[in-house]
Chain A
């Protein structure tokens, strides 16, 4: 009896591993393709039959990325932008989510419907009017127009996500604290935030990714190329007369690496957060 159960379990486990490994290969293949292309000449990339491994590893491609464009400057700009956007988004979206999920006040439903409504608003509708607004107050060609929205709620997505998480925390915990004389800000800081760390990490990571990869926003607001972000720099490799794929892939690799590092760091935090969360639902 226990034997069959064991073999069944073993079989199940093999199946799970097989699926996971297959999926991993699918996930990694395009990335591998990108890295392999970044180390080739533009000609070898399109060679038939396919060259899986470059004949000669052309690390010069990376050097060329740094010499053709001021990539270090782009890195610095992107990091600055990401820092302010992520902190802004995490702080203000969690505040708002708390206000929507945990405080029973008059305007709550109206505000929530407005935010849900704005989430459905295609970004393309608001691009030009928003741009004109920033122009009027003289803030174009700086990172500020890209940062300010993050400090004003950070985006409806994050608020909605956090609100859903906050709603699933039982009310009795903060009610107890409330009776003990704590105010909402204290409850927010001491009870809700620690309980929702994983959700906050998720929001932070999303904000990071969206900002790191955003291309249309910086394109519209940033004119001079000393203010460009990496995503915009990446796009610069596609000139009008030819596409320098090998350099673009090298640049893409350079853009991906920080994202991977952040994810590695964030992931550990995420697991920790989840185990610490305790009772939910």
Chain B
């Protein structure tokens, strides 16, 4: 009897503390996510154009997207999916490899880490301009170097087939921030575990496969989820570098959304486009969270 009373009291106190600690983010969620989200859901059923018009049009906006009346929707979605499928795994692998290299006993570790991290702090606007020249197929640095090495020219950003891989490559240049998270994770792997593998006579590979990677799964999971979410929302590259071209081959979804909203002033249909993206990302994330139980290992639990 006393016990249940205690736990009831305790539970109430815990609820109070939890609420208190989470208050900022609850408010943040209400005002910067839920409220705008509902507003935009409402707009997605209207022909709202920011300035004058706001009529209810039912499901028309969604119908236009899925019936193919909108000439860009399926292209934008497809292009973005390809980008995500290429860029997320490649950047995770590269970031992880760099983190592993930096975790070995090398001199000047700090300098290397700084160098690898540096690109991700460069303002995107400025960097995009640099990429434009480097990958210009006529005057760019990349083709100059290829020519000097006796290799054939590449069209880089100006061909429909190479524009996405080129953008994926420029994205690799900024893996520094992911790498830092990996590195922090790897350095958190308890010494005893690695030492245990060494005592058992295991080599680097064994350490990597049986200790480092399993211990790193929460971090990998985090970076995977974030990579996919951010990958679907890639915008600046398309905005500054390619403007969606050539022939819409880099018409990333959010750039398409931005264009619909701010260039053509169709906030209603832009909201519908946003909601489709939201649902896609939501589904993917739910699936990933369902699957994580099979491979992610949390030490604390």
A touches B (Cβ under 8 A): yes
B271 on the interface (CB 8 Å rule)? yes
A121 on the interface (CB 8 Å rule)? yes
Q: What mask results when residues 22 to 36 of chain B are scored 1 for a CB within 8 Å of chain A, else 0?
A: 101111110111111
B37, B104, B117, B270: the one within 8 Å of A263 (CB): B117
Contact count band on B? 35 or more
Cross-chain contact B114 with A133 (CB below 8 angstroms)? no
Cross-chain contact B125 with A252 (CB below 8 angstroms)? yes
Q: What mask results when residues 95 to 122 of chain A are scored 1 for a CB within 8 Å of chain B, else 0?
A: 1101110011111100100111111111
Contacts of A159 in B (CB 8 A): 25
Q: Complex Cα distance A20/B97, Å? A: 10
Contact count band on A? 35 or more
Cross-chain contact A184 with B35 (CB below 8 angstroms)? no
Of the stretches B64-72, B82-90, B130-138, B157-165, the one at the interface is B130-138
Q: Complex Cα distance A52/B194, Å? A: 47
Cross-chain contact B267 with A28 (CB below 8 angstroms)? no
Contacts of A95 in B (CB 8 A): 21-22, 24
Closest to A167 in B: B300
Contacts of A26 in B (CB 8 A): 173
Which residues A132-159 have CB closer than 8 A to chain B? 132-133, 149, 151-154, 156-157, 159
Cross-chain contact A27 with B123 (CB below 8 angstroms)? no
A29, A107, A274: the one within 8 Å of B22 (CB): A107
Tell me how far the C-beta of A229 lies from the nearest C-beta in chain B, rounded to whole angstroms.
11
Cross-chain contact B184 with A122 (CB below 8 angstroms)? no
Of the stretches A11-19, A54-62, A65-73, A79-87, the one at the interface is A11-19
Top 5 A-B pairs, shortest CB-CB distance: A252-B126, A105-B18, A99-B21, A152-B28, A153-B25
- Write 9 A-B pairs (CB below 8 A) sorted by A numbering: A34-B122, A103-B14, A105-B14, A111-B25, A122-B254, A161-B222, A167-B298, A251-B126, A259-B123
